[in-house]
């Protein structure tokens, strides 16, 4: 980590299947641990406290996902900028990128934490959160926003460490924080009877621990990716690069996450049981989709490297493997989810109404999961072959504009909870149609470059 030597995981040699899976596993473990955070809170709150408390936690989720998306985008931009400096052997650029990214992230973290804390009640009221869960939802959201700075800094500092080619340290720290989160959840919620506040405090304390551990590593690092508090400043060239990369990435992330806020507003009209049941179903789906999402990301890296190296036959074989594996895996998961939907929702909360809404939601959408796998892999292939813009436009049109239009046009006419279920298969089908068209026209070749 202390040298400017570029370290690249080679994907152009060895068995195709084994290479993709080996590359995917470390990333998958990290993402799974992140998901366990959310699932542990929901399960412990739902089982120990009940339906209304579970509804309080999941009703705040769309707002927290927007904030989490910001932290992930900042981390990705930080890692990308530092890696670019390494690649061009820019000795001064690496420290400037590190210190500028961290300082900008710290400023954003404080602003979002303060704004989120004071605006929490107003935002939840705008979302038509039911009165019987509003107090707990506000309390949970305020505590989470009060500790948001730690989560954002952890993600950005992790990006700094990853850019220096150390991926194991942050993964171990994340494991430790997940274990601590579950233990504190049990203690605060079940032993000390702190309610939803206990679940929020458990999450925040765990995030602070992981942030402190990665901060310790970057402060100890003596190389160019080391952090010196006395050197924290904003470098104009680095800040310009960050703003250039941050804008499009934030726009795309917002396009994916914001419709969930609008759909949550629609769901809130149907009461606490619907909120809790559908929220539990969504947590389950996020866990399932994680596998194909990471698989597609790994596939994109594999294709990009092999196309750049001129290994076109190897890239074509990988495409078939990616499609078949992703679609088969997620559809098998969908069938199992359809069959065991009530049992899955009871894991979160045994209340009969929660199980009714949650299992109905899962059974409507689960048999369409193969569309998500197809879209994830298609998007990865388009990115790897230089068609990032078309892929982004498909996602923005189908998963952002189409969902908003469907809610606006049908929400008042068909004010039934089933609309919140079917809006996903409808827009997945639409995006799959566009992707199928682009896949038929896709030819494996050197990625397109912009004309000068």
Considering only 174-178, 368-372, 448-452, which range has the smallest mean pLDDT?
A: 448-452
Task: Give me the mean pLDDT over the 198-204 stretch.
Answer: 96
Task: Indicate whether 54 pLDDT > 70.
Answer: yes
Q: Give the model's pLDDT for residue 92.
A: 78
Instruction: Name the percent of the chain lying above pLDDT 70.
Output: 95
Lowest-pLDDT choice from 24-38, 159-173, 423-437: 159-173
In this predicted model, which residue has the larger pLDDT, 61 or 25?
A: 61
pLDDT tens digits, one per residue of 253-276: 888 889 999 999 999 999 999 999
Alpha-carbon dihedral 190, 191, 192, 198, rounded to 10 degrees = -40
Instruction: Tell me the mean pLDDT in the region 394-409.
Output: 92
pLDDT band at 444 (very low <50, low <70, confident <90, very high): low
Q: Please enumerate in sequence order all residues whose Cβ is within 8 A of that of 16, keeping only pairs 6 or more positions apart, or say none.
A: 302, 314, 317, 318, 321
CA atoms of 236 and 226, how far apart (whole Å): 20
Q: Does the pTM exceed 0.75?
A: yes
User: For 379-401, what is the mean pLDDT?
Assistant: 86
**Among all chains, which residue has been given the structure tokens 């399960």?**
43
- 182: phi then psi, degrees, rounded to nearest 5: -65, -45
H helices present in 340-442, as ranges: 341-348, 352-365, 369-384, 388-396, 402-410, 418-441
Q: What is the mean pLDDT of the chain?
A: 89
Query: Which residues neighbour 404 within 8 Å (Cβ) at sequence distance 6 or greater?
Result: 259, 262
DSSP 367: G
- Vertex 77: Cα angle to 74 and 79 (nearest 5): 110
The pLDDT value given to residue 193:
94
- Residue 1 — pLDDT band, cuts 50, 70, 90? very low
| HSE toward the beta carbon, residue 174, CA cutoff 13 A | 22
Cα distance from N-terminal residue to C-terminal residue, the chain:
35
Structure tokens at 110: 């404080």
So what's the pLDDT on residue 368?
Answer: 97
Flag whether pLDDT at 167 surpasses 70. no
272 Cα distance to chain centroid = 25
Q: Tokens for 109? A: 């973290």
Please determine, for residue 3, whether its predicted confidence score (pLDDT) is greater than 70.
Answer: no
Per-residue pLDDT averaged across 233-238, rounded? 92
Task: Give the pLDDT confidence of 319-357 residue by residue, as tens digits.
Answer: 888 889 889 999 999 999 999 999 999 999 999 999 999
Find out whether 134 and 109 touch, Cβ atoms under 8 Å.
Answer: no
Please indicate whether residue 117 or residue 221 has the higher confidence score (pLDDT).
117
């Amino acid at each position: 980590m202390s040298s400017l030597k570029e370290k690249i995981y080679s994907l152009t040699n060895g068995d195709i299947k084994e290479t993709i899976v080996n590359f995917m596993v470390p990333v998958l473990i990290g993402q799974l641990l992140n998901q366990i955070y959310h699932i542990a809170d929901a399960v412990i709150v739902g089982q120990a406290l009940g339906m209304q408390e579970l509804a309080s936690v999941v009703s705040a989720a769309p707002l927290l996902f927007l904030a989490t998306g910001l932290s992930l985008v900042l981390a990705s931009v930080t890692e990308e900028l530092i890696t670019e400096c390494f690649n061009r052997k820019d000795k001064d650029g690496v420290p400037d990128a590190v210190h500028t990214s961290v300082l900008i992230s710290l400023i954003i973290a404080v602003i979002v934490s303060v704004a989120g804390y004071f605006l929490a009640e107003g935002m939840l009221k705008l979302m038509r959160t039911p009165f019987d869960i509003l107090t707990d939802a506000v309390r949970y959201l305020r505590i989470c926003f009060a500790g948001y700075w730690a989560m954002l800094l952890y993600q950005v500092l992790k990006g700094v460490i990853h850019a220096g080619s150390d991926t194991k340290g942050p993964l171990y720290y994340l494991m430790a924080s997940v274990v601590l989160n579950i233990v504190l959840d049990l203690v605060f919620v079940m032993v000390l009877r702190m309610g939803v506040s206990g679940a929020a405090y458990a999450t925040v304390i765990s995030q602070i621990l992981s942030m402190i551990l990665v901060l310790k590593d970057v402060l100890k690092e003596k190389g160019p990716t080391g952090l010196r508090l006395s050197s924290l400043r904003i470098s104009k060239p680095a800040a310009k690069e960050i703003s250039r990369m941050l804008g499009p990435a934030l726009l795309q992330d917002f396009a994916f996450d914001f419709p969930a806020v609008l759909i949550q507003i629609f769901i809130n009209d149907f009461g606490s049981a619907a909120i809790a049941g559908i929220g539990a179903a969504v947590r389950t789906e996020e866990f399932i989709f994680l596998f194909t999402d990471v698989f597609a990301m790994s596939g994109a890296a594999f294709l990009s490297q092999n196309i750049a190296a001129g290994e076109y036959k190897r890239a074509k074989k990988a495409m078939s493997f990616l499609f078949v594996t992703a679609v088969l895996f997620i559809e098998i998961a969908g069938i199992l989810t359809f069959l065991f939907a009530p049992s899955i929702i009871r894991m979160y909360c045994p209340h009969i109404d929660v199980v009714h809404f949650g299992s109905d939601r899962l059974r409507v959408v689960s048999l369409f999961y193969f569309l998500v796998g197809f879209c994830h892999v298609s998007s990865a292939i388009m990115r790897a072959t230089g068609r990032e813009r078309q892929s982004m436009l498909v996602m923005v049109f189908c998963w952002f504009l189409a969902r908003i239009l469907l809610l606006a046009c049908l929400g008042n006419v068909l004010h039934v909870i089933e609309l919140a279920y079917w809006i996903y298969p409808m827009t997945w089908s639409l995006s799959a149609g566009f992707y199928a068209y682009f896949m038929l026209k896709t030819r494996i070749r050197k990625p397109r470059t912009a004309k000068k």
